[in-house]
Amino acid sequence: MTQTVAVLGTGKIGEALLSGMIRAGWRPADLLVTTRRGDRAQELHTRYGVESVTNAEAAKNADILILAVKPQDMGKLLDELAPHVTADRLVISAAAGITTTFVEDRLTPGTPVVRVMPNTPVLVDEGMSVISAGSHATGAHLATAEEIFGGVGKTLRVPESQQDAATALSGSGPAYFYFLVEAMTDAGILLGLPRAQAHDLIVQAAIGAAVMLRDSGEHPVKLREAVTSPAGTTISAIRELENHGVRAALIAALEAARDRSRELASGNG
């Protein structure tokens, strides 16, 4: 790995990518970071052995720029980078709702841009990162993005037109599961269990179910039916979920998330 990578914006996601790359074999000497605070720069140097530079220095010296800033900060960052980014750089945007066109229009014509939507489980190396090519990005550029983000979970290539749907499903997806665990914990308390016990029972059920979904290759309906005995407890619960429109509510919720992602992408924040 002879390319130099700069992570611009080293919050939780940026730091997760940094640590994932080092675990995957990238040398700290080939990694640069940018930060707003000197104490944060020192912290990252102590923890990972990486050098902190200015945004301009990163643009001049790195072969790959990973833009991991907040969406509302992206325009200002690109204006700062533009004079220094040549068309032989690869720019990877990891900011929600920022299109490749938005990035391309502010950089040297022909600059390859890849858009990536990671989710927060990248913090525990179980993330899902959805990757799309801009108009100048090649298969090799996508493969580079996959190599980087593959260090903190799985990756999936999609056309950029599907990024808003992927954001609704994957980018926001962990929050839906946390919401469900929260509701089920409250139900456990109502049924007479202490909060800590209810939490442990539900979390392990969630982990076990997720591993079975991932490793068995079975359709979720088949896995659910294996738990659903005739006239049993599970089918009684499923009936109530259907009676209360939980399936329809989930569909409506994801449509709302997709629509909001489209609004953000169009600049209607």
> In the block, which residue shows the tokens 């080293």?
10
**pLDDT of amino acid 96:** 84
SS3 helix, strand, coil % of the chain, rounded to 5? Answer: 60, 15, 25
DSSP code per residue over 188-232: HHHTT--HHHHHHHHHHHHHHHHHHHHHH---HHHHHHHH--TTS
C-alpha span between 10 and 41 (Å, rounded): 9
C-alpha span between 5 and 30 (Å, rounded): 6
CB atoms within 10 A of CB 19: 18
CA distances from 211 to 42, 198, 214 (A): 38, 20, 5
**pLDDT of amino acid 268:** 59
**pLDDT of amino acid 263:** 85
C-alpha span between 155 and 178 (Å, rounded): 22
Residue 28 contacts residue 52 (beta carbons within 8 Å): no
CB atoms within 10 A of CB 77: 21
Q: Residue 24: which of 152, 156, 157 has the closest Cα? A: 152
Cα 168–172–177 angle (5° rounding)? Answer: 115
C-alpha span between 155 and 101 (Å, rounded): 22
Residue type, 70: K
How deeply is 4 buried, as exposed, middle or buried, from its count of CB atoms within 10 A (0-12, 13-18, 19+)? Answer: middle
Q: Residue 131: which of 120, 112, 116 has the closest Cα? A: 116
> In the block, which residue shows the tokens 């359709």?
219
| Helix and strand totals (H; E) in the chain | 12, 8
Its pTM stands at 0.89
Residue type, 260: R
> In the block, which residue shows the tokens 């990248």?
122
**pLDDT of amino acid 1:** 52
Residue type, 222: K
**pLDDT of amino acid 2:** 75
Q: What is the CA 260 to chain-centroid distance, rounded?
A: 17
Which stretches of the chain drop beneath a pLDDT of 50?
A: none
Residue 145 contacts residue 131 (beta carbons within 8 Å): yes
C-alpha span between 144 and 1 (Å, rounded): 11
**pLDDT of amino acid 217:** 93
